[in-house]
A and B are shown apart, each in its own frame.
Chain A
Amino acid sequence: MTMAVSVYRYNPDTDQKSRMQDYEIEIPGGRDLMVLDLLELLKEQDPSLSYRRSCREGVCGSDGVNMNGKNGLACITPLSEVVRANKLSIKPLPGLPVIRDLVIDLTQFYQQYERIKPYLINDAPQVAQERLQSPEDRKKLDGLYECILCACCSTACPSFWWNPDKFVGPAGLLQAYRFLVDSRDTATEERLAALEDPFSVFRCRGIMNCVSVCPRGLNPTRAIGHIRNMLLERAVQPSPPSS
């Protein structure tokens, strides 16, 4: 079966602007290929095509692309799920600068991630082995720690498109909450203080694009709601009991 594929192309060395390039590709029958398989077939046909990929099983988060208008990981998205009327258009994740073809510059995405201090901060004296956590407290990290930073969510979020330099974005905020809710972290107050401005958290309008695209089935909108509640509680009760 042949399929019509249209791919976003841009080569900074030769192109003034980007264009869509159309390919006709023969799809081997018998099994449902993933979009990444299709890209590999295309690359055999046209070796100049660039994209990122690594683990090819939805773990590394490097092959996030926009397929027929929806962000997702090419390696775990079956053609049957995205192809419409035997046509597929593949574009880079929207909103960030394109380096080449489907490869985007994720600097702003990582800067927002860096901003939320994605590591445990604990000012209690160092313990001999590890800091223990009750099973209940550990459970609070479920649905948060699984994020693979693929950027599908943040680049689907209109608020992040408009203010990628000021709004932390769904991926960063999911991780912000992951450390806010961790019983071993003692920097809750500093973390919240860094998020109370009108942009970092409050730019979220609850559009939930992030939830609809996350390939890990995570829910950044819910995490953002929790952060907002923590900020509100902190505002009405200025010196919260330190836990």
Chain B
Amino acid sequence: MPDSSAAKMVTQVTAMSRNGISDWLIQRLSALLLAFYTVSLVIWFLMTPSLSYDQWQALFDTSWVQVCALVGLLAACAHAWIGVWTCGSDYLSDHSLGARAVIFRFVYQTTSILILIVYLLWGINILWGT
């Protein structure tokens, strides 16, 4: 039996993106990592009532904290990208906007990627810069 047009549509669109299972897993995993990182920081804040700049700097001088922060940053970027891509394909779809949706999606996705890359590089610079 030939596939319906709807089935072909899906293959075309997904040829440019990833598969749904990996997206789903990355989103859950990154959410767990972010939750762990946030809760740890909050606990640290609670245990350090009179927080000073020196204490803050000493914390981020420890290499395992730097590694955790980097993992958190990567998780935030991955999480944000999947969310941003999903929202874009909901609201800026060919179905709702017609042929020009491609242009809107391109601008929206490029801007989002640029912002995320800047955040990532900036974050790395803060963590390991001198």
- Please count how many residues in chain B sit with their CB below 8 Å of the partner chain's CB atoms: 27
Q: Taking A196-B21, A197-B14 as contacts, is the C-beta distance between A165 and B9 under 8 angstroms? A: yes
Distance A150 CA – B11 CA, assembled complex (angstroms): 27
Contact B93 A163 (CB under 8 A): yes
Contact A166 B90 (CB under 8 A): no
Q: Please, which residue of chain B has its CB at the minimum distance from the CB of A162?
A: B90
Ordered nearest first, which 5 A-B pairs have the shortest CB separation?
A: A202-B20, A197-B14, A198-B20, A162-B90, A111-B6
Contact A166 B10 (CB under 8 A): yes
Contact B95 A199 (CB under 8 A): no
Residues of A within 8 A of B (CB): 108, 111-112, 114-115, 117, 159, 162-166, 194, 196-202, 228, 231-232, 235
- Which residues in A have their C-beta under 8 angstroms from that of B90? 159, 162-163
Give, as a whole number of angstroms, the nearest-CB distance from A157 to chain B: 12
Contact A165 B6 (CB under 8 A): yes
- Which residues in B have their C-beta under 8 angstroms from that of A231? 20-21
Distance A96 CA – B39 CA, assembled complex (angstroms): 44
B52 at interface, CB cutoff 8 A:
no
Q: Please pick, from B20, B25, B86, B95, the residue contacting A196 in the complex, using a CB distance under 8 A.
A: B20
Contact A202 B24 (CB under 8 A): yes
Contact B95 A201 (CB under 8 A): no
Q: Please, which residue of chain A has its CB at the minimum distance from the CB of B6?
A: A111
Q: Known pairs A159-B90, A202-B23. 5 more at Cβ < 8 A?
A: A162-B91, A163-B90, A198-B19, A202-B24, A235-B21
Give, as a whole number of angstroms, the nearest-CB distance from B102 to chain A: 15
Contact A162 B19 (CB under 8 A): no
Give, as a whole number of angstroms, the nearest-CB distance from A191 to chain B: 12
Q: Please, which residue of chain B has its CB at the minimum distance from the CB of A168?
A: B6
Distance A106 CA – B74 CA, assembled complex (angstroms): 43
Those of B2-61 within 8 Å (CB) of chain A:
3-7, 9-11, 13-14, 17-25
- Which residues in A have their C-beta under 8 angstroms from that of B20? 196-202, 231
Residue-wise, chain B 56-99 has the 8 Å CB interface mask toward A (1 for contact) of 00000000000000000000000000000010011101011000
- Which residues in A have their C-beta under 8 angstroms from that of B14? 197-199
